[in-house]
Structure 1
Amino acid sequence: MSRPVHILKVLMAGAGLLAAALVPTPAAAAPAPTDGPAAVARARVAADELMSSYEPNKAWFPSSWWNSAVALQTIGDYMQRTGDRRYLAQLDNTFEKDKGAFPAGYLSGDELWGNFTSRAIDDSEWWGLTWIQAYDLTKNRKYLDMAVTIARFVEDYWDDTCGGGVWWNAERTYKNAVTNGLWIRLTAELHNRLPGDTYWLGRAQQGWNWLNGSGMLNSAGLVNDGLNDNCESNGDTVWTYNQGLAIGAGLELWRATRNPQLLTTVRRLADAAIAPGGLVTDGVLTEYCDAPGRTCDDNGKQFKGIFMRYWMDLADTTHDRRYTDFVARQAATVWDNDRDAADRLGLHWSGATPNVFDWRTQASALSALIAAVPATPPVRSLSATTDPALPVVMPATGSATQVKVTVNLQATGPVGDSIDVTVRAAAPSGWTVTPTRTTVKLRTRGNAVPVQTSVDLAVTIPAGTPDGLHSVTATATSGSQLSFTTRSDVLIAHKADFDTGTAAETPWLFDADGSQSNGVQNRFADGHSYFVYRFPFPSDATSASVALTIDNEFVIQVSGDGQNWTTVATETNQVHDGENKAVRTFDLTPYLATAAYVRISDSFPDTGWGGRVYHVTATYN
């Protein structure tokens, strides 16, 4: 369940419904210029990285129910914004597989009651918005019907306590901003898609009027989290997603009514968010929990993306240069400062370290990149990625090492066009890369399915190269308009020595499977999930070992090929509090002929306290 958050109390004088079109204020101007092809390419690369974490059997993003709804909604935004339609099948896979009832612990900590509903009312609303997005993409009525079903479920949790509003949970313990911001947006979206509707419009207007009078919008125009037992604002944290939802709720209701008072309120909320004392630090959107010295939980990791989803709506609707400039600033800082060679996007958009990377932070930052894509996307685009993006070399003594890096290209263009793409590669001084220049031909198929091909690079690393990251870059160009640079960060290391849950762990993490990391020095595998580290020891090594700081209910296995496993340690007691935390060392010498793989899993998969690793050290002689 997403954490409770407050919504805004908006000062909206008068109620009359005016059928007037939006008239830009004097502050409005033409949208800021943007490099459309580059924006599309960047969003595509980040979307593909996000979808690499999609688990097709359970049809979700592992271990988080409401976050999965928002991640899929973000992919829907990406497809709608760019014209790419490659991920429609995954949306439908989730719809068909997950619409039933499930016991607690299977997809959510809560029991799921069917039709994407549960005791977490806000979770249900997130899924309602996801299926409206799917309907917008496909016009398949089953998605819209599901959103209506969800809205009818949520409506039962509106009552007269505190003068109205939807309860946050089925136990009716809290009325807050997130649940009611979602309610307004959901019902207004239904109205705007159901010809002749008046019912859902009435519910949206009722919800907006209640929210405005609830007290959750503070004097600065920022949204506090919810109401206390006296039905007064609790003055709790201003989370970005509450602010964004309030903006988004007002915009969708404005589309239904054209009431200019709604836009006045929306602008007040938006201006408060970017004003001094708002939600921005040095020009960059910053969550309360991702400020220095704080830590975001799995909920908070995704809040900023929700804000940007509705800020994109704001920029599209008003064309106000201040709002479009803000979009451009967030997208630029994410791409330039918050991205690693594998195109993973982190929690701290400013690039502050230590950063946190997972599919939730990926979905969140992706929304900033999507917002920078022009509302009418260009047909032509070109992107490139590398594989492996973060290779590890544990070098032999006195001899060069070779690695292969594949440059994967994707392009869009008018159907049937033939385009030439030139790839130029570069490596550090003293290294060689072959070829340094090559040209491939692609025949494009429009926006819906980017065409793709690949180029292999042979990279030779000289003996004596110092430990550290060394970048091999590849720039793909086509004509004078399309250019995209990618890189592979080769890690040279004579030992592995890293905390889990950090960027330093990533090059060694061969297979994350369904494991989770809740921060620095924390990676664990519950149930039937696992995670695997790979150590490519050199051919001239004579011995090797790995030391794991580990606790809880673990199984530790080793392998020389990543497929055939030998169990070397198992916790046979049910340990739930980390009391067995210790450094355990294992011999990897038998696996020097290839590479050594170490897998951690759960010795009691039904209890939810699987092996948890804090630190890893692997050495060789």
Structure 2
Amino acid sequence: MIHSKISHSMGALLSLLLLCSCKEPVDDAITKPPTPPVVAAPANWAARADSAQAALRQGFFTASQYYSKNNAGDNSFNYWWQAHGLDVLLDGYKRTNHADYLQQANQLQVGAKAQNGNTYLNEYYDDMEWQALACLRAFELTRDPAYKATATLLWTDIKTGWNEQQGGGIAWKKTQRDYKNTPANAPAAILAARLYLLDRNPDDLLWAEKIYRWQKATLVDPNTGLVWDGINRTGDGQVDRNWRFTYCQGVYIGAGLALYQATNRQEYLTDATRTANFVLGDADMAPGGILKNENAGDGGLFKGILVRYLGLLAVEPNVSATNRTSYINFLKFNGEAAWKRGARRPPGLFNTNWTSLPQGPVESSTQMSGVMLLEVLASLQVRNLL
């Protein structure tokens, strides 16, 4: 009787287990937990900038204390490249606070002056403007009065380039005073506006606005914001509308931004963002979203100049969130492309084309553009904007 009850109970229990197993399958096999997805570590833009800075120093800085033309033994001197060399050293110093950047900056100033005939004055107004901008920035970072003295010396000479041919504007060079272009005028407007922000001299602001008005009226497409290169280059009074350089867009963005910061007038910021948005959407300026190849020589610096001023625009507090996001994403996309295609022996060398590896010697102008790009991205990363 007891056996019968136990059998009956066991049968019921077995039926219950079978019923449960139909509703909820049980897998008694031992299985490994699912493999978590691989999450790529965020890019360390500061480390990448360090590599590019080291490549610039090791491959291009000569015993005579200036940047050579290339890393294959051509030690030709180009004055305005040295100004951008100073600027990238200041980028490195601002990011790291390492004194060796300032030491090399001081060496560069000595070497560049010696190679330029023992003077900072030059035939080309745009070249002097770049030197003045870099020196003014060096003064703001170090408070070394020698840098401010150089910037002031150059600004005094730069103003002599203004004349009324072509309706105004600063000439490209002293022996061709009837040719006016963006490279000689937009950086001058940036310089004047920054001097005003530093010293609050009303005359500097008057100069900045006068130069900017001429630039906008003469060399900017009112329909698109595209910035043309120059007027009367060949003596025919014509504008070079087919000369479409990233350089020109960059310095006009910088001029609008500097004047906005000096005056708080919205029109200047509107101009800057309009031109920036044009660049991002133009298939010639940025095919496939990557800034175009403008070859070696002076053109090697063009993209870096645009990147520098687009980066400054991206962190202007009063730029819209939509525009800020667009600018930062664009810069990051370019940075990833350029870095992934940079040579690895040594690391951090760049090509004129940011979508391919360097082939043969690299010029210092090209390398400086790459350094500027990585330094801008390192700065954005510190701000938690990447």
Task: Calculate the TM-score normalised by the size of structure 2.
Answer: 0.79
CA shift in 2, pair 1:35/1:331, >3 Å? farther
Q: Which amino acid aligns with 1:80?
A: K
Give 1:179-578 correspondences, 5 Å limit.
179-194=184-199, 196-217=200-221, 219-228=223-232, 229=235, 231-287=237-293, 289=294, 296-317=295-316, 318=319, 320-343=324-347, 344-351=349-356, 354=359, 357-375=362-380, 377=382
In structure 2, the residue corresponding to 1:168 is in which secondary structure? strand
Alignment match, 1:65: 79
The question of whether the paired residues in 1 share the 8 Å contact of 2:302 and 2:369 is answered with yes
Structure 2 SS opposite 1:374: helix
SS in 2 for 1:282: helix
Q: Helix, strand or coil for the counterpart of 1:174?
A: strand
* 1:36, distance to aligned residue in structure 2 (A): 7.7
Shift of 1:234: 2.4
Q: Is the 8 A contact 1:36 1:377 kept in 2?
A: no
Q: Which has the higher strand share?
A: 1
Pairing partner for 1:48 from 41, 44, 54: 54
Aligned to 1:407: none
> What is the CA-CA distance between 1:212 and the residue it aligns to?
0.9
Distance 1:337 1:303 in 2: 19
Higher Cα radius of gyration: 2
**Per-residue Cα deviation, 1:222-256 (whole angstroms, up to 9, x for no partner):** 12210024544221311111110110111111111
Choose the corresponding residue for 1:177, options 173, 177, 182: 182
Match for 1:164 among 155, 165, 168?
A: 168
SS of the counterpart of 1:285?
Answer: coil
Q: Provide closer, same or farther for how the CA distance between residues 238 and 81 of structure 1 changes in structure 2, counting only shifts above 3 A.
A: farther
Distance 2:343 2:358 in 1: 12
- The whole-number CA distance in structure 2 between the counterparts of 1:246 and 1:357 is 28
Deviation at residue 133 of structure 1 after TM alignment? 2.1
1:97 deviates by 4.5
Partner amino acid, structure 1, of 2:106: D
Shift of 1:273: 0.6
User: Counterpart in 2 of 1:415?
Assistant: none
Distance 1:286-1:71 versus aligned 2 partners, 3 A rule: same
- 2:79, 2:112 within 8 Å by CA — same for their partners in 1? no
Distance 1:338 1:37 in 2: 15
Tell me the distance in 2 between the aligned counterparts of 1:218 and 1:237.
16
Amino acid aligned to 1:346: N
Please give the per-residue CA displacement for 1:33-61, whole angstroms capped at 9, x wherever unaligned: x9887111100111111111212424443
Partner residue, 1:149: 153
Confirm whether residue 80 of structure 1 aligns to residue 94 of structure 2.
yes
Superposed CA deviations along residues 241-296 of structure 1, whole A, max 9, x for unmatched, are 11101101111111111111111111110011111334101111113x3xxxxxx2
State the shift of 1:353 in Å: 7.0
**Post-superposition offset of 1:315:** 1.1
Residue of structure 2 equivalent to 1:611: none
- 1:354 Cα deviation (Å)? 4.6
The equivalent residue for 1:132 is: 136
Q: d(CA) in 1 for partners of 2:105 and 2:64? A: 13
Give the superposition deviation at 1:346.
Answer: 1.6
Distance 2:98 2:329 in 1: 25
**Is the CA contact 1:177–1:216 (under 8 Å) kept in the aligned structure 2?**
no
Evaluate the alpha carbon distance shift between residue 331 and residue 189 of structure 1 in structure 2; reply closer, same or farther with a 3 A threshold: same
Is contact 1:59-1:90 (8 Å) kept? Answer: no
Distance verdict in 2 for CA 1:234–1:125, change over 3 Å: same
More helix by share: 2
Does the CA-based 8 Å contact 1:345-1:361 persist in structure 2?
yes
Shift of residue 218, structure 1, vs aligned partner? 6.2
* Larger RCO (CA under 8 A, 6+ residues apart): 2
Q: Which residue of structure 1 lines up, in the alignment, with residue 15 of structure 2?
A: none
Q: Give yes or no for contact 1:338–1:348 (8 Å, CA) kept in 2.
A: no
Residue 258 of structure 1 aligns with an amino acid whose one-letter code is: N
The corresponding residue for 1:580 is none
Distance of 1:193 and 1:353 partners within structure 2 = 41
Q: In structure 2, what residue type is equivalent to 1:197?
A: N
Q: How many Å apart are 1:216 and its aligned residue? A: 4.1
Letter in 2 for 1:246: Y
Separation (CA, whole Å) in 2 of partners of 1:300 and 1:337: 19
Q: Is the 8 A contact 1:348 1:356 kept in 2?
A: no
Q: Which secondary structure state, in structure 1, belongs to the residue aligned with residue 188 of structure 2?
A: helix
Unaligned 5+ segments in structure 2 are: 1-39, 69-74
CA contact (8 A) 2:257 2:268 kept: yes
Residue 359 of structure 1: CA displacement?
A: 2.3
Q: Match for 1:55: what amino acid?
A: T
Give the aligned length: 327
